[in-house]
Copies of this chain bind each other. A is one copy, B any other.
Amino acid sequence: MKKIGIAVLLLSSCCWAQNTESFVPASTNVWGAEYPRVDASGRAEFRLKAPDATTVKLNFWSNPKMDMVKQPDGFWTATTPALVPGFHYYTLIIDGVEVSDPGSHSFFGGGKDASGIEIPEPGSTYYLPQDVPHGAVREIWYFSKVTGSWRHALVYLPPNYDAQTKERYPVLYLQHGGGEDETGWIKQGHANFILDNLIASKSSKPIIIVMAYGYARRAGYVEPDLTGKPFGSPEMMKAMQEMSQTFEDDLTQALIPFIDSTFRTVADRDHRAMAGLSMGGMQTFQVTFDHLELFSYIGGFSGAGGMSMMRGDQKFDTKTAFNGALADPAAFAKRVHLLWIGVGTEEPAMMHAGIVKLHNALDEAKVTHIFYESPGTAHEWQTWRRDLKDFAPMLFQ
């Protein structure tokens, strides 16, 4: 229909002007978009053509909003201070409406397709594609009797999965955070490249990773009318519990059987792990401690058993927590091969303190576990990439 437009697009895409400054287009940009761009110190420059707008703000979710400045040519611009390396969500707020930046690819977060920008970490290549054998990521669809619907998941298969047709592999179930979806660990997290690199250096065994969609509505469930119910009301908590339980049932009753019948897995608890970030970490603790007959490796990345939501004055009781599974540390250590919790040092104080409190309580009760703090990173993907890089090598050893 728009042949000329397409041709121009193709050509302009391929041939944006080379700028002579140190700023280069971000790797998260759409093909050919010159902005946003980043420099070696981690600063990012943004530009948007909006001659008729009254206000344009740059909304980094991990930073205060920043006013963009209108230039005489109708473009709005902003340059950030040096940003922490890694992936950052952001949006633009144009005359009060929060939207994605047309120059960036979009990434599912905050319940929508939001913009994201990658700030390179000098010297870090563990989450980038290298010249090593690559696994494949598969999209799968399975029908869940729990939800009464087709559900979509992603599955990472290690290099040589196809060639080694007699080989069977252990499985890690790896969950996204609240507001994100099953694409997050690949698109934002680069979990596939992290594992490719770990497997190539023999730091990690070849494993299958399953990334499920972390929301579930039970077949036939009638949603309650929560109009006027305050946050944290019993009705709301009940609805949330119902959602959590439905996810747990879908994972354990629909997804795991589907995975074990579709792929060459080792289908026992000694070869099955679960981990997740933030909300996914809380789901991990719920699912695994409810089903220790299914799992023997547990990871909570910036979210572990509700710890991050605990008030400072609340006590974590290792005798009663997690269905009492920790009450006998020796028995627990025999049963669960790895209990791993991580947090970034720059996460919000309450969240950081909650995870540290869990760690201290586990130490005090002599519950064997690993505690990892990611230096200088916040409640963001760089923390979780590092978590995975340290967690995966400890699996199935």
A residues at B contact (CB < 8 Å): 1, 3-4, 6-11, 13-15, 17, 30-33, 48-55, 61-62, 92, 94-100, 102-106, 108, 110-113, 129, 131, 134, 136-143, 150, 155, 162, 165, 177-179, 181, 186, 192, 215, 217, 223-226, 231, 236, 239-240, 243, 262-264, 278-279, 308-309, 347-348, 351, 378-379
Contacts and interface: CB of A to CB of B under 8 A. Distances in A.
A178 B31 CA distance: 12
Contacts of A100: 99-100, 102, 106, 113
B110 A9 contact: yes
A92 to B, nearest CB: 8
Nearest to A48: B97
Contact of A54 (B52, B112, B165, B231): B52
Which of A110, A136, A278 is the most central at the interface, judged by chain B CB atoms within 10 Å of its CB? A136
A240 B10 contact: yes
A95 B98 contact: no
Contacts of A262: 162
Which of A11, A30, A231, A308 is the most central at the interface, judged by chain B CB atoms within 10 Å of its CB? A11
Contact of A178 (B6, B33, B108): B6
14 contacts: A3-B308, A4-B231, A10-B179, A13-B215, A48-B97, A52-B54, A52-B95, A92-B99, A94-B95, A98-B102, A138-B138, A139-B139, A139-B192, A162-B262
Given A15-B226, A31-B111, A347-B1, A51 B96 contact: yes
B97 A30 contact: no
A111 to B, nearest CB: 5
Contacts of A279: 6, 10
A396 B240 CA distance: 51
B105 A94 contact: no
A243 B15 CA distance: 11
A11 B106 contact: no
Nearest to A131: B143
Copies in the complex: 2
Given A1-B351, A51-B96, 6 more contacts: A7-B231, A9-B179, A30-B113, A49-B97, A52-B54, A100-B106
Contacts of A49: 97
Contacts of A55: 52
Contacts of A15: 223-224, 226, 239
A195 to B, nearest CB: 13
B10 A215 contact: yes
A260 B30 CA distance: 29
B351 A3 contact: yes
B178 A53 contact: no
Given A15-B226, A231-B7, A62 B95 contact: no
A96 B223 contact: no
Given A1-B347, A186-B139, A243-B14, A105 B95 contact: no
A218 B236 CA distance: 56
A230 to B, nearest CB: 11
A14 B217 contact: yes
Given A179-B9, A348-B1, A53 B96 contact: yes
A226 B165 contact: no
A336 to B, nearest CB: 26
